[in-house]
Amino acid sequence: MWYKADYTGYEGLSEYLISNLLCRSTLHEAEFVRYELEQIRYRQKIYEGVKSENFSFLRI
């Protein structure tokens, strides 16, 4: 799993929303990265963010 934490705003939420919109498009699932919302604990702080199996859309 790969994680991205929000440091300046809602960048993770925007990636989550776009990936879910793309799931409903005509694109094949291998053509985009799927993100899920996640709370990330780092150095005793909790950040909102997203997780993905792979940040690269190229599946080998």
Convert the pLDDT of each residue in 1-19 to its tens digit: 888 888 888 888 899 999 9
**Residue 31 resides in a domain:** yes
* Residue 32 included in any domain: yes
Query: Residue 46: is its pLDDT beyond 70?
Result: yes
Please check whether residue 58 lies inside any domain of the structure: no
Q: How many domains does the chain have?
A: 1
16 in a structural domain: yes
Residue with tokens 């790969």: 2
Kindly state whether residue 24 falls inside one of the protein's structural domains: yes
**Neighbouring-strand partners of residue 4:** 50
What pTM did the predictor assign?
0.72
Residue 59: inside a domain: no
At a CB cut-off of 8 Å and minimum separation 6, what does 13 contact?
Answer: 6, 37, 48, 50
User: 57 in a domain, yes or no?
Assistant: no
Range of the domain at 29: 2-52
pLDDT at 57: 55
Q: What is the pLDDT of residue 20?
A: 93
- Mean pLDDT to the nearest integer, 21-45: 90
